[in-house]
Amino acid sequence: MDSLERAVAAERAGANRLELCAHLELGGLTPGLELIRQVRSAVQIPIHVMIRPRPGDFVYTTREFAEMKQSISTIKTENVQGIVTGVLLPRNSVDTHRTRELVALASPMQVTFHRAFDETRDLAAALEDIVLTGAHRILTSGGADHAHSGAPVLRTLIQQAGNRIAILPGGGLFSGNIAGVARATGARELHTGLGSVIPYGSHNVAAFESAVRDCVGSLAR
């Protein structure tokens, strides 16, 4: 979600958790404190806040990493339930040292390692690295453009993860494929921003709410 209106609409339509970002058209960046507070006061469901200081790759400078830590320290007092972040090394492996530092700083909030995971060269090895950091879940399309096409890999990752970490399929999910991905992968939770059916930046909140409700309904059948 990148607006108060969409956050409220998503809860009303049956979503049970929100990922709050700014600039979804750039893949999601850290939202401002004002938006976090507005959404927190308006919804009851858990909020997980994106911690990403800029668009582009996930290899961060010392200054950018310090900015990420400051953002986490700030939102810890805002009654949100988690953060969504990801840090890689220059050759696109998981930066376990920095990720572990962010997980420790964020505690007791939950930590989702976002789709930077899909940029890694060896998803199975990256999963094991992230488990060691103490993160709670991994948002991934299985290394594919969309979760639907990555479903076989997602199923393998879910089996590898076991009960150690949750695998959260995301990427291109909507009412027409979300239930199929759930069945094919065995995933217990799924993620969608509905950008494949409603352009980011659209002000048609009613259409967005309807699309969320359709997703929830298809999963309930």
Mean per-residue pLDDT, 172-177: 96
Spatial distance between the Cα atoms of 153 and 168, rounded to a whole number of angstroms: 12
Spatial distance between the Cα atoms of 213 and 208, rounded to a whole number of angstroms: 9
Q: pLDDT class for 197, splitting at 50, 70, 90? A: confident
DSSP assignment, residue 207? Answer: H
- For the stretch 4-58, pLDDT in tens is 999 999 999 999 999 999 998 899 999 999 999 999 999 999 999 999 999 999 9
- Asked whether the beta carbons of 156 and 197 are under 8 A apart, the reply is no
- For the stretch 70-127, pLDDT in tens is 999 999 999 999 999 999 999 999 999 999 999 999 999 999 999 999 999 999 999 9
DSSP assignment, residue 136? Answer: -
DSSP assignment, residue 107? Answer: T
Q: What is the pTM of this model?
A: 0.95
Distances (CA, A) of 160 to 50, 131, 201, 206: 26, 11, 37, 39
All structural domains of the chain, each given as residue ranges with its CATH number in brackets, are: 54-220 (3.20.20.380)
